[in-house]
């Protein structure tokens, strides 16, 4: 069963079914590929690379997640799923790290999102900003948060003693093939 909630700042929070099994595979696959130095890294801020790119064919466990995330994004947008494409990256935060305030409206994004894979207690809330309002979302493994790409957001400090792993996503219109 999919559990959804609406937020004070426009966003959708959904817990995806089957997330526990998917997350076990995602975490194991990510750790193996990361140890091998495989992810392409970008966005170096505050002493770390915020974006780690792994091709989807290198990590088959991504497919059910990306499929469910595309369906949720289409629902959020109120449009057919077949017209959406998804771009994604891993965000690996070690203890003491943060993600700087940013937006996802550089290109043709229609909706942005984050999916949580590993979320030890105290690993850093997602903080959404809209004008004078701010809202914190405490991450839960298996949770997908969707929001407007022009919404300023950041991640608070990982105060746990473990790694926090999430997958950032942007959804846009699928181009002609």
Mean pLDDT computed over every residue of the chain:
88
Write the CA distances from 55 to 73, 83, 100, 121, integer angstroms.
21, 21, 24, 29
Question: Tens of pLDDT along 16-53?
Answer: 888 999 999 999 999 999 888 888 877 777 777 778 88
d(CA 174, CA 162): 37
Question: Tens of pLDDT along 130-176?
Answer: 888 888 999 999 999 999 999 999 999 999 999 999 999 999 986 65
Domain residue limits at 138? 3-173
34-43, 71-80, 116-125, 157-166 — which is least confidently predicted? 34-43
**127: nearest Cα among 41, 7, 15, 46:** 7
d(CA 63, CA 133): 35
Give the pLDDT score at 176. Answer: 52
How many domains are contained in the chain?
1
CATH of the domain at 113: 2.60.120.620
Q: What is the pTM of this model?
A: 0.90
């Amino acid at each position: 069963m999919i559990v959804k909630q609406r937020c004070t700042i426009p966003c959708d929070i959904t817990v995806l079914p089957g997330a526990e099994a998917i997350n076990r595979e995602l975490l194991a696959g990510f750790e193996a590929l990361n140890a091998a130095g495989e992810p392409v890294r970008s966005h170096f801020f505050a002493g770390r690379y915020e974006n780690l790119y792994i091709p989807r064919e290198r990590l088959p466990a991504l497919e059910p997640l990306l499929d469910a995330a595309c369906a949720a994004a289409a629902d959020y947008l109120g449009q057919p799923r077949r017209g959406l494409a998804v771009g994604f990256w891993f965000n690996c935060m070690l203890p003491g790290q943060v993600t700087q305030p940013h937006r996802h409206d550089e290109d043709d994004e229609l909706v942005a999102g984050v999916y949580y894979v590993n979320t030890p207690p105290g690993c850093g809330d997602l903080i959404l900003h809209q004008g004078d309002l701010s809202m914190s979302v405490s991450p839960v493994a298996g949770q997908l948060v969707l929001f407007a790409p022009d919404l300023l957001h950041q991640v608070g400090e990982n105060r746990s003693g473990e790694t926090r792993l999430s997958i950032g996503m942007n959804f846009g219109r699928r181009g002609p093939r």
